Structure 1
Amino acid sequence: MLKNRSVVSIDDVSKEDMSEIFETSDEMSRLLEQQKPLRLMEGKIMATLFYEPSTRTRLSFESAMNRLGGSVITVSDTGSSSIAKGETLADTIRMAESYSDIIVIRHPMEGAARLASRFSSKPVVNAGDGSGQHPTQTLMDLYTMKKEKGEIDGLNIAMIGDLRYGRTVHSLILALSKFQVSITLVSPQILRIPEHILARLPRGFEVNVTDSLSEVLKKTDVFYVTRIQKERFTDLNEYQSVIGSYSVDEKAVAEMKEDAIIMHPLPRIDEIASEVDYSKKAAYFRQAANGVPVRMALVSTILG
């Protein structure tokens, strides 16, 4: 059970927890459609601490808490807070926990969310830590797959693009290893998924590796496309060598299976052409919309 527990890694969420969250997400979606005010989190306060820019994650967390009847306090501009004066993460977290019931944190340093959870007596939720993990994005990704395809087991999934720095992919592949799926990793050599992530996969869970997008077009059920993240590169020449490596356009979509779906954690740059938005296979905006009911389900589960 996730009640009163922090979620800083997808490892903190069991397959049984996922099933509970997905069922609750369905219920939250139904309640949202009815447009009735909810009071499930009335009197509860969420503190959101974003040390990195965010649009979808921050807005969906804050929307989720507001729709549950709770309230939100936030730090989104660290330049105008005590962080700019040199306040430590430990002191910021101890301050935030005294003002709130749950803390949501995004930080550029890998491991920051785990560190924050050690300083807090209140539950901490990781909204992305550097190139580490993004567990709530993974929950909405899995929920989207289940909602779009009916079941997760049995799917052929291709992860495409920046698999080295992409924290969404790191969390997602670990979560998918709990299911009966086939995974192909598509990336340039320098952007392949880190070995330390692959080493954490269960014994016997195999992944296919290729640098060819065309190789997977006809046999894949779910295309999970990621942005090449310029902000993670220390060598801009290295970034320039891989930018535009893959582009999902109308031609590529025409070669996909009729019932295939295309997902993306967003934001995108040029890896999915804008004309693809009009295809029924484009699931990325529906995926983003799922962030609200999934985070409503997670917050209500954690806070009971």
Structure 2
Amino acid sequence: MTSPSPLWTGKHVLSCDQFDEAMLHVLFETASAMKAMVATKRKSAILTGRVLANIFYEPSTRTMCSFDAAMKRLGGDVISVSESSSSAKKGETIEDTVRCLECYCDILVLRHPVKGTAAQAASAMKKPLINAGDGVGEHPTQALLDLFTVVSAHPRAKSTAEGLQLDSLTLTLLGDLKHGRTVHSIARLVTKLSRPPTLHLVSPALLSMPAEICDELSKANVPMQASDDFAAALPAADVLYVTRVQKERFATEAEYAAVAGSYVVNAAALAAGPAKPDMLIMHPLPRVDEISTDVDADPRATYFIEMENGMYVRMALLALVLGADLSAL
């Protein structure tokens, strides 16, 4: 592999709207190369001398740590900022924060509780910014690693130079589709595919997918249906993508209690479905009670593989956006 790729170099990563199939193919090929490199050499030096700023105004385990590990696996360094440790406590604007931090680093990763803040911050910057989640907006790097996981793990999914071939699959999104930025990004990413999967949107009525995203799916001719019946949807699912009900997005405890625990994926439910033997069970994590721990030993449980893939995809993003020489891997 060689680099830089003009498709990625120097670009902000803000929304799944900005991707096309050529970009996805380059990214997934690079992520596969990163996975092979880690398995054999553990580390590379292709980003030596580069610095990443991790700016997280919301709690994070997987996204923050995987970006940190990704940069260090490639020889770079990381500085970390949280809301409690930044001058946001003193009233500093997000624009001033990122303009100061880009003086010290080469690329920024930002998580913020307010939708649209990543784009707002990027508009003030000269260096690239990666959106690590903006409130109920999007989480594009999660969608990228999720799609990479499907392509890597499902026997009927393929990634070729001509595009991703997912049209033989049914992707069932289950749970909080209203507040879940991961499912918003997955839906938007699917609209970029010439051969998309069929989407089955399963949620309580109060947590249904936002209308504007359903409109985007319709305009892109993505096959889809919506229901609130998990048991009826399960037998057709090739990928079951489960999300937690996001308590932190509700105005009152009563509103949350009305929909909490709406669906539980456990061994009994999978057997009763019955779920397909090659179905992938995915979850962006953290989970609360929507996937029972008795599913963890099921060979279809893919969520921890998904988390590992997150590091490889983020390694690929950092290398591509920073224009690293991939021939040196």
Same fold (TM over 0.5): yes
Match of 1:157 among 158, 163, 171: 171
Question: Aligned to 1:217, what secondary structure does the other structure show?
Answer: helix
Q: Are the equivalent residues in 1 in contact too, given 2:197–2:222 (CA < 8 A)?
A: no
Alpha-carbon distance between aligned partners in 2 of 1:38 and 1:170, rounded to the nearest angstrom: 33
2:269 equivalent to 1:252: yes
Matched, 1:85 2:90: yes
Match of 1:291 in 2: 310
Identity over aligned residues, as a percent? 44
- Is the CA contact (8 Å cut-off) linking 2:42 and 2:73 kept in structure 1? no
Output the CA distance in 1 between the equivalents of 2:98 and 2:105: 10
Deviates more, 1:156-165 or 1:197-206: 197-206
Please list the CA deviations of residues 52-106 of structure 1 after superposition, one character each: whole Å capped at 9, or x if unmatched.
0000000000100000111101103x22321111111111010011111101000
Shift of 1:133: 0.2
Q: Distance in 1 between matches of 2:292 and 2:204?
A: 19
What SS does structure 2 have at the residue aligned with 1:157?
strand
Q: Which residue of 2 aligns with 1:240?
A: 257
For residues 53 and 135 of structure 1, what CA distance do their matches in structure 2 show?
17
One-letter amino acid matched to 2:285:
L
Matches within 5 A, 1:1-304: 1-76=7-82, 78-150=83-155, 151=157, 152-177=166-191, 178=193, 179-201=195-217, 202-254=219-271, 255-304=274-323
TM-score of the two chains, using structure 1 as the length reference: 0.98
Gaps of 5+ in 1: none
Query: Deviation digits for residues 210-267 of structure 1, max 9, x if unmatched?
Result: 0000111111100000000000011321110000000001112222011111000000
Counterpart code for 2:139: H
TM-score by length of 2: 0.90
Contact 1:128 1:134 in 2 (8 A): yes
Contact map agreement 1:7 1:13 (CA 8 A) in 2:
no
- With 264-273 and 197-206 compared, the bigger mean Cα shift is at 197-206
Amino acid across the alignment from 2:31: S
CA distance in 2, matches of 1:142, 1:229: 22
1: CA distance between counterparts of 2:220 and 2:94?
37
| Cα shift at 1:37 | 2.9
Q: Which moved more, 1:291-300 or 1:31-40?
A: 31-40
Question: What is the distance in 2 between the residues matched to 1:208 and 1:233?
Answer: 26
Alpha-carbon separation, structure 2, partners of 1:300 and 1:203 = 31
1:180 Cα offset (Å):
2.5
Q: CA deviation at 1:36?
A: 4.1
- What secondary structure does 1:139 align onto? helix
The 4+ residue runs of structure 1 with deviation greater than 3 A are none
Deviates more, 1:124-133 or 1:253-262: 253-262
Aligned length: 303
Q: Which runs of 5+ in 2 are unaligned?
A: 1-6, 158-165, 324-329
Instruction: Tell me, in whole angstroms, the C-alpha distance in 2 between the residues paired with 1:155 and 1:175.
Output: 15
